[in-house]
Structure 1
Amino acid sequence: MSEPVGHRSRADEVYEQLKQDIAEFKLVPGDRFTENSVTERLDVSRTPVRQALVRLQQEGYVEVLFRSGWRVLPFDFAKFEQLYDLRMVLETTAAHRLCDEGLRSPNPVDHALVDELMALWLVPVAQRSSDTLQVSQWDEAFHCALVAAAGNPEMARVHRDVTDRIRIIRRLDFTKQARIDATYEEHGKILSAIRAKRGDQAAMLLRAHIETSQAEVRKITLHQVHMARQGS
């Protein structure tokens, strides 16, 4: 089976698919599988599958089992706590940059990007989405856009990496309508503070918003993970 020519290799495609399977709970923590099962399911050769799995292993998603294939690693909640702490530092710093032009990086603040966020989140209640998956995706995009708008590409790159690593756990935070409503309210207040150039208030609101999400993550149980797979 020949490898396709192009920017994305077959190993990249397998990597992205397996990562998506884990994020969507088609593979849940503790699941065991073999390289052969992946090659058959994705209709690819063994080499890109092995390359993709090694990459996922390095990133802490899976582990290789002696003579018995691979296993999706259980959630490392201590690592998630550390990533949330890092996320909080990055986003509160971004909030201050967005409100104080004196802290600008070599690249200027992207006010147009902030305006786009306001158009999406500062809407009447009747216009809010109730689609949990959609709001989850919008929430992730909101936080990435805030950091990107602050004008520091390296900070945005690190934040995207953190976002990627906590995506699987954040999805479980959007299973209730009350959390969706709270997200709209909290995002709206954060954006209003940024629009008013109140950096301390925006950072405080962001910190509280992230801490609430972090607290919800602490409540997640293995049962919820398995229930998420049933609903996926």
Structure 2
Amino acid sequence: MVATPKPTTERISRAETVYEQLKRDVAEFRLVPGDRFTEQSVCARLDVSRTPVRQALTRLQQEGYVEVMYRSGWRVLPFDFDKFEQLYDLRMVLESTAAHRLCEDGLHAANTKNRALLDGLIARWLVPVAERSTDAALVSQWDEAFHCTLVEAAGNAEMARVHRDVTDRIRIIRRLDFTKQARIDATYDEHGKILKAIRAKRGDQAAMLLRAHIATSQAEVRKITLHQMHMARQV
């Protein structure tokens, strides 16, 4: 009896799992710029064969996260801060446009889903100070969801798709914006003001507040050092 080969989809699934885990390791600073590792060490840690590991690493190499080192395994690449600043600029354009769209007459009334998305954001961010979360990792996730949801609620699927891609590419450093309690408090305050402006259909004000909010985060990115990344790794 001829053995049935394992389906290709299973191999793809394993490669995807390894890819997501390694990308998460970089984003959460278990692997920081300059760290070196081997395919064998990844295989042992994740209990998978070499093929999905190699596929995952090749994909991460194409995306600019890692590079292969001749005879010495792989290395996590230094951050390209010029590229990150360009992505922040693009994010600012997309979110400002979304803010204006959200304030257009009839948008909320015409789309129950959009209205529900905004209601969910209001319920999370417009809360008394005593009810605010102090969990940096959780607030970081909520912050990302806040911005993605605003663009999604604006109703342009292609704009939302591009914004999700930008978000994915800057996730690795925007998490550092939440290593200090003051930035968590500021995020609640700024998100609240943005939502109030959108609820009042003040498009220019909402867009201005969003640009200022993103610019503050962009300025924090400029201050990031390798030392800070190592400190964040311990949080």
Q: What letter corresponds to residue 142 of structure 2 in structure 1? A: W
SS in 1 for 2:169: helix
Q: Does 1:39 align with 2:43?
A: yes
**Which structure 2 segments of 5+ residues have no match?**
none
- Matching residue within 149, 156, 167 for 2:160: 156
* Aligned residue among 109, 127, 130 for 1:126: 130
**RMSD (Å) for aligned C-alpha atoms:** 2.2
CA distance in 1, matches of 2:126, 2:7: 47
Equivalent of 1:87 in 88, 91, 103? 91
Task: Write the mapping of 1:107-146 to structure 2, written as runs, cut at 5 A.
Answer: 110-146=114-150
Kept in 2, the 8 Å contact 1:108–1:151? The answer is no
TM, length-normalised to structure 2: 0.92
**Distance in 2 separating the partners of 1:14 and 1:140:** 23
Which runs of at least 4 in structure 1 moved beyond 3 Å after TM superposition? 1-8, 101-104
For 1:191, the equivalent position in structure 2 comes to 195
1:21 matched to 2:29? The reply is no
Please name the residue that 1:203 is paired with: 207
Question: Which residue identity is paired with 2:37?
Answer: F
Identity %: 80
Q: Which residue of 1 aligns with 2:71?
A: 67
| Structure 1 residues 8 and 141: CA distance shift in structure 2, 3 A | farther
Pairwise CA distance, 1:66 = 1.4
Q: Is the 8 A contact 2:11 2:52 kept in 1?
A: no
For 2:58, the equivalent position in structure 1 comes to 54
Distance 1:2 1:44 in 2: 15
Aligned AA (1:156):
A
How far residue 108 of structure 1 moved from its aligned partner, in angstroms, is 8.3
Q: Using the alignment, how far apart are the partners of 1:33 and 1:3 within structure 2?
A: 29
CA contact (8 A) 1:3 1:9 kept: no
Q: Secondary structure at the match of 2:78?
A: coil
Q: What is the aligned partner in structure 2 of residue 229 from structure 1?
A: 233
Structure having the higher Rg: 2
Retained in 2: the 8 A contact 1:109–1:151? no
Query: Structure 1: 5+ residue runs without aligned partners?
Result: none
